[in-house]
Amino acid sequence: MASQTEENYLKTLFNLANDKNEVNISELAAQMQVSMPTVNSMVKTLQKNDWLIYEKYKPVILTQKGKKEAALIIRKHRLTEMFLVNKMGFGWEEVHEIAEQVEHIHAPKFFERMDEMMGFPTIDPHGSPIPDKQGRIQEINYLTLSKCKAGQTVILAALTNSSTEFLEFLNSRELSLGTELTINSVENYDQSMVATYVGHTSETLSEKVCERLLVRVIG
Amino acid sequence: MASQTEENYLKTLFNLANDKNEVNISELAAQMQVSMPTVNSMVKTLQKNDWLIYEKYKPVILTQKGKKEAALIIRKHRLTEMFLVNKMGFGWEEVHEIAEQVEHIHAPKFFERMDEMMGFPTIDPHGSPIPDKQGRIQEINYLTLSKCKAGQTVILAALTNSSTEFLEFLNSRELSLGTELTINSVENYDQSMVATYVGHTSETLSEKVCERLLVRVIG
DNA sequence: TTATAATGTTAGATTTATCTAACAAAATTG
DNA sequence: CAATTTTGTTAGATAAATCTAACATTATAA
Ligand SMILES: [Mn+2]
Ligand SMILES: [Mn+2]
Ligand SMILES: [Mn+2]
Ligand SMILES: [Mn+2]
């Protein structure tokens, strides 16, 4: 059974994997906030459990087993976040830290009950998909708001970044998942957008913000 | 901040403490299922944090600070057990193992929300008191059913043992907290009792069982 | 009251997860 | 392509939590 530390590495590896499924030691060290030698020794450990493939001086690659293990931890994380928001009244900006701990609880029934109580949700409070019990993730392809054009109407569906600061910014603008926005205009100089949505007329959103908003175009 | 291991030792120390607040190394080792040298080194560590007083060859004694720390972990454990039963539909025999893990979550709000959602319960699903936010425990003095006499009517209020096996035995006899029992007779030979309660006429309860049932006499 | 048993301690080893310093390989750049 | 930078590895150390073997102290009992 994976230790808490190993579980956190697996999750991070899963999230950092590029199109070739590769992760560099330096990236992993940066993300985990540990030194490269620490990562070097950890990937050797993870390899012994067949969770990844490691060859000297090469980026590491999660195996199928490793990907499944990671997805199941992510499942517990996201179910927890959704439970905290939907059943316990937390704000979407408060739940990540708690889920970071709860995801390591070994008690399948605990998470199954959460799932049942919520009616088997498929996304978490930040719009990210919840992997199923087999560790499969449904790929959803949303568009970044910054890719949209003036005149379009979109629905905010997910976020590319869920830091507390960003979530608090969105709270301050009363932007939440499901909000319908109409793009009034796009400023050519800095790519900032002016949008209208429930309760807000001509709200300006910087490019930095628009890049982090994932939307479904509806008109 | 106490590690998970330290938290488990503190909790066990709290529960093992006798009237003089003393705990022997051997008891602690037995309860924690580790060797005596392991306990020996751990109590030295706990002493460095002023959680207990240790002197060579003497039983250890929790300090006020140590008692409070322990009581606050027990609070998290019992709130969790109550939440699992009252809000998530678990049976009282299923919750201890999960609570044993959840009690180590560092997220005051998480437990405060549980507490609020349940309306600030004062006992857990096994009838044990939930320490308050200051770590104070209200002492309740129930009677052991085995101390009662034929003819008396009592209400099942708590248990001295909450092992899964015992809880499953109680389930099989449809005995739960709050059940009103009338003692028909006490067998002189083996101290077994014959009792009547909702749905059960003349149910025989062994001395072993009666010793583990804490009751309030109501007639 | 001495022998024996029970309890507790010390010494030394192991595993896990981390670090720094030094070195090696690979990638980038002038 | 050679110099430099970036990335990755090795070696060796540390702290936490555990173990066994050996020894010491305290308690019990003959
Ligand atoms: Mn999260
Ligand atoms: Mn985590
Ligand atoms: Mn319990
Ligand atoms: Mn525990």
Q: Residue A206, Cα to own-chain centre: how many angstroms?
A: 21
Q: Where would I find the beta strands (DSSP E) of B55-199?
A: 60-62, 143-144, 153-159, 180-186, 193-197
Closest-CA residue in chain A for B110? A98
User: Do A105 and B109 make contact, defined as CB atoms within 8 angstroms?
Assistant: no
B211 reaches A (C-beta below 8 A) = no
CATH fold of B4-62 reads Arc Repressor Mutant, subunit A (1.10.10)
Give the dihedral sign, CA A85/A88/A90/A96: negative
Tell me if A136 sits within 8 A of A71, measured CB to CB: yes
What is the model's pLDDT at position A78? 98
Contact B98 A89 (CB under 8 A): no
- Interface check for B44 against chain A (CB to CB < 8 A): the answer is no
B60 three-class SS: strand
- Residue B73 CA: which ligand is closest? 4
Mean pLDDT, chain B, rounded, equals: 97
pLDDT at B108: 98
Residue ranges of E strands in B2-103: 22-23, 52-53, 60-62
Amino acid at B168: E
Parts of chain B with a pLDDT under 50: none
Is strand C within 7 Å of residue A41 (CB)? yes
pLDDT of residue B219: 81
**What is this structure's pTM?**
0.95
For chain B, say whether A218 makes contact (Cβ under 8 Å). no
The B residues from 114 to 153 touching A (CB cutoff 8 Å) are 114, 117
Cβ pair B105:A107 closer than 8 A:
no
Query: Which residue, B159, B155, B171, is CA-closest to B210?
Result: B159
How far is B83 from chain A, CA to nearest CA, in Å? 11
Beta bridge partners of A204: A194
End-to-end Cα spacing for chain B: 49
- Alpha carbons B190 and B213: distance in angstroms, whole number: 17
Q: Is B90's CB within 8 Å of A107's CB?
A: no
CA distance A98 to chain B (A): 6
**SS3 state at B129:** strand
Task: For residue B14, give both structure tokens.
Answer: 């709290």
Q: Read off the pLDDT of residues B75-117 as tens digits, 9 standing for 90 and up.
A: 999 999 999 999 999 999 999 999 999 999 999 999 999 999 9
Rounded (10°) CA dihedral B2, B4, B8, B10: 0
At residue A90, what are phi and psi to the nearest 5 degrees? -80, 155
**Residue B21 has what pLDDT?**
95
Q: C-alpha angle with apex B196: B191 to B198, nearest 5 degrees?
A: 140
- Please tell me the predicted confidence (pLDDT) of residue B3: 98
Is A5's CB less than 7 Å from nucleic acid strand C? yes
CA gap B178, B148 in Å, rounded: 17
For chain B, what are the domain ranges? 4-62, 143-217
CB atoms within 10 A of CB A73: 22
- For B198, which DSSP code? T
* A169 and B CB contact within 8 Å: no
Q: Which H, E and C letters describe chain A, residue by residue?
A: CCCHHHHHHHHHHHHHCCCCCEECHHHHHHHHCCCHHHHHHHHHHHHHCCCEECCCCCCEEECHHHHHHHHHHHHHHHHHHHHHHHCCCCCCCCHHHHHHHHCCCCCHHHHHHHHHHCCCCCECCCCCECCCCCCCCCCCCCEEHHHCCCCCEEEEEEECCCCHHHHHHHHHCCCCCCCEEEEEEECCCCCCEEEEECCEEEEEECHHHHHCEEEEECC
Name the token pair of A60.
Answer: 């590491």
Of the candidates B162, B161, B177, B179, the residue with the CA atom closest to the CA atom of residue B94: B162
Query: On the CB side of B38, how many CA atoms lie within 13 Å of its CA?
Result: 12
CATH of range A143-217; options 2.30.30.90, 3.30.56.10, 2.160.20.60, 3.40.50.11290:
2.30.30.90
Judge contact between B198 and B129, C-beta under 8 A. Answer: no
Residue B153 CA to chain centroid, in angstroms?
24
Per-residue tens of pLDDT for chain A, all 219 residues: 999 999 999 999 999 999 999 999 999 999 999 999 999 999 999 999 999 999 999 999 999 999 999 999 999 999 999 999 999 999 999 999 999 999 999 999 999 999 999 999 999 999 999 999 999 999 898 999 999 999 999 999 999 999 999 999 999 999 999 999 999 999 999 999 999 999 999 999 999 999 999 999 998
What pLDDT is stored for residue A219 in this prediction?
81
Residue B84, H or E segment: helix B64-86
The whole-number Å distance from B82's CA to C17's C1' is 35
Are A117 and B90 in contact (CB < 8 Å)?
no
Residues B179 and B216: beta-carbon distance below 8 Å: no
